[in-house]
Amino acid sequence: MVKQASTRPKQKGPGRPEGLSNIRDAIMDASESKFADLGYAGTTLREIAEAVNVTQALISYYFGSKYGLFQETFLRRGQKISAERIELLDSLLATGKPTVREIVRSFLSPTLALRATPQGRSFLRLQARLHTEPPEISYPLRTDAYGASTQRYVDAMRLALPTLGELDAYWRVTLMVGTYLYAFSDTHRMEEMVPKGLYDAEDTEGLIDQVTRFVTGGFEAP
Amino acid sequence: MVKQASTRPKQKGPGRPEGLSNIRDAIMDASESKFADLGYAGTTLREIAEAVNVTQALISYYFGSKYGLFQETFLRRGQKISAERIELLDSLLATGKPTVREIVRSFLSPTLALRATPQGRSFLRLQARLHTEPPEISYPLRTDAYGASTQRYVDAMRLALPTLGELDAYWRVTLMVGTYLYAFSDTHRMEEMVPKGLYDAEDTEGLIDQVTRFVTGGFEAP
């Protein structure tokens, strides 16, 4: 049922028209916004095609299917975030034994830049939604993008917290993922609840500080 | 744009056919499952009508509109959870000064029973999805169901943790909500990651224990 990415046409090659990667990127940008707002089932290729002013046939040519487009849209940023997480963790481990707080911070920081643009925020919402999509939509993509890097963070946490059991380490990394997905995806729950003047929704440094402290406390709990 | 619940026909009254509340409940059960799987935009009244074997006109008669149905489906359980949370918190406060752990546990426990049935699990997924739906869909419902009870938990946490600032208290309650929504909504992230034999997905007591310890640690963080 799931169309594999490997069946897609190559991005670059002889005979491809100029500006192809721009068109591909524009299609993925529109896809990111639509899937983020409407979910997988609620989004049609027709709407995406209209938003970019291309034909549905062109989208099918580049991405194979709706799922192929969803997949590439998610992996475009997901794989980059994952690679940055591994790089940051490697740097930390190279300089000694990192603290829980440093590990949490290196997990979160690759997604922070995405908060700066509307398109990046669409990805964060898309990613939060992905976890509530039916299994056949979400599982292969999550594992593909994040399986390896998340395992590295489980291992790093067990190094930093030698008394933490293996199952507890998996649990706490999973709960860290849930916490940050919610906090970073513009749910606007804070704006609704907090008395006026106390909370600044644009304070991204405040956001990462709050999530880092909460999650670090969660990891260090008995 | 949003159809108000107050415009719906009354649930009981003279001249209503027998079994009406059963039909209403069956429609809401189907609605809960479909909206949980497909999101708001991806669900059609036609699919829900077919699942219950009623006409779309009957659904419109009872619920007014797709949004009306979504709203009542969410509030059916959401308001009950919220009332139970307040009741549990009141019992705790009546017997002395509750600990952070007790407050967290009373917040989580009304949703635990929902984990025991497929229909309850649909609600938990629907609820997790609600937070990623566009603002006009999600904000009024969240506030309607949970605004008052969540504020009570912010106040209770500030009593239990006198050094916790007001903004920090709002943040930590918000992050608790994000953590539990993710953990309780069958994202199956643990099954994917944990080595075989170490994790039991049906261990609900283990689930609540992990979430309680993590969130309590988060609240008690510096």
pLDDT of residue A77 exceeding 60: yes
The confidence score (pLDDT) of residue B20 equals 64
Q: What is the mean pLDDT of residues A167-179?
A: 96
B118 in contact with A at a CB cutoff of 8 Å? no
Indicate the average pLDDT of chain A: 89
Give residue B191's pLDDT band: very low, low, confident or very high (50, 70, 90).
Answer: confident
Cα-Cα end-to-end distance for chain B: 44
Q: What is the mean pLDDT of residues A62-77?
A: 96
- Both structure tokens of B189: 């992230």
Residues 156-195, chain B: which have Cβ within 8 Å of A?
166-168, 170-175, 177-179, 181-183, 185, 187-190, 192-195
Facing residue for B217 by CB, picked from A187, A198, A217: A217
Indicate the average pLDDT of chain B: 89
Q: Which residue's entry shows tokens 């890097």?
A: A149
DSSP A64: S
CA distance A141 to chain B (A): 12
CB of A153 within 8 A of CB of B104? no
Q: Is A27 exposed, middle or buried (0-12, 13-18, 19+ CB in 10 A)?
A: buried
Helix and strand numbers, DSSP H then E, in chain B: 10, 0
CA distance A177 to chain B (A): 8
Give residue A63's pLDDT band: very low, low, confident or very high (50, 70, 90).
Answer: very high
CB of B45 within 8 A of CB of B52? no
B132 in contact with A at a CB cutoff of 8 Å? yes
CA distance A221 to chain B (A): 5
Facing residue for B192 by CB, picked from A139, A193, A199: A139
CA distance A4 to chain B (A): 20
- Both structure tokens of B89: 């918190």
Single-letter code of the amino acid located at A88: L
* Residue among B37, B40, B132 with most chain A CBs within 10 A, to mutate: B132
Q: What is the mean pLDDT of residues A199-217?
A: 94
Which of A3-12, A33-42, B166-175 shows the lowest mean pLDDT across its residues? A3-12
Phi-psi region of A164 (alpha: psi -120 to 50; beta: other; left: phi over 0): beta
Q: Give B92-132 pLDDT, tens digit per residue.
A: 999 999 999 999 999 999 998 898 889 999 999 999 888 88
Which of A138-142, A205-209, B159-163, B176-180 shows the lowest mean pLDDT across its residues? A138-142
CB of B143 within 8 A of CB of A192? yes
Q: Which residues of A touch B174 (CB under 8 A)?
A: 182-183, 189-190, 193
Cα–Cα nearest to B222, from A193, A210, A184:
A210
B129 in contact with A at a CB cutoff of 8 Å? yes
CB of B172 within 8 A of CB of B218? yes
The confidence score (pLDDT) of residue A27 equals 97
CB of B199 within 8 A of CB of A156? no
CB contact under 8 A, A129 and B125: no
pLDDT more than 90, % of chain A? 68
B56 in contact with A at a CB cutoff of 8 Å? no
CB contact under 8 A, A39 and B38: yes
Q: What is the mean pLDDT of residues A151-167?
A: 96
In B38-171, at which residue ranges do the beta strands (DSSP E only) sit? none
Q: What is the mean pLDDT of residues A33-51?
A: 94
Longest Cα separation, chain A: 61
CB of A222 within 8 A of CB of B222? no
- Both structure tokens of B91: 């019992």
Q: Which residues of A touch B172 (CB under 8 A)?
A: 210, 214
pLDDT of residue A164 exceeding 60: yes
CB of A142 within 8 A of CB of A130? yes
DSSP A1: -
Give, in degrees to the nearest 5, the angle at Cα A114 between A108 and A119.
Answer: 150
Give residue B5's pLDDT band: very low, low, confident or very high (50, 70, 90).
Answer: very low
The confidence score (pLDDT) of residue B185 equals 85
Q: Which secondary structure element, helix H or strand E, spans residue B91, and what is its range? A: helix B66-94
CB contact under 8 A, A175 and B38: no
DSSP A149: H
Overall residue count recorded for chain B in this entry: 222
The confidence score (pLDDT) of residue A129 equals 87
pLDDT of residue A22 exceeding 80: yes
CB contact under 8 A, B182 and A182: yes
Single pTM value for the model? 0.88
Give residue A132's pLDDT band: very low, low, confident or very high (50, 70, 90).
Answer: confident
pLDDT of residue B19 exceeding 70: no
- Both structure tokens of B80: 């009950």
DSSP A116: G
CB of A186 within 8 A of CB of A121? yes
CB of B78 within 8 A of CB of B145? yes
Q: Which residue's entry shows tokens 């990111």?
A: A32
Q: What is the mean pLDDT of residues A169-195?
A: 90
- Distance between CA B139 and CA A28 in Å, rounded? 28
- Distance between CA B31 and CA A48 in Å, rounded? 27
Report the sign of the C-alpha dihedral through residues B163, B145, B207, B129, in that order: negative
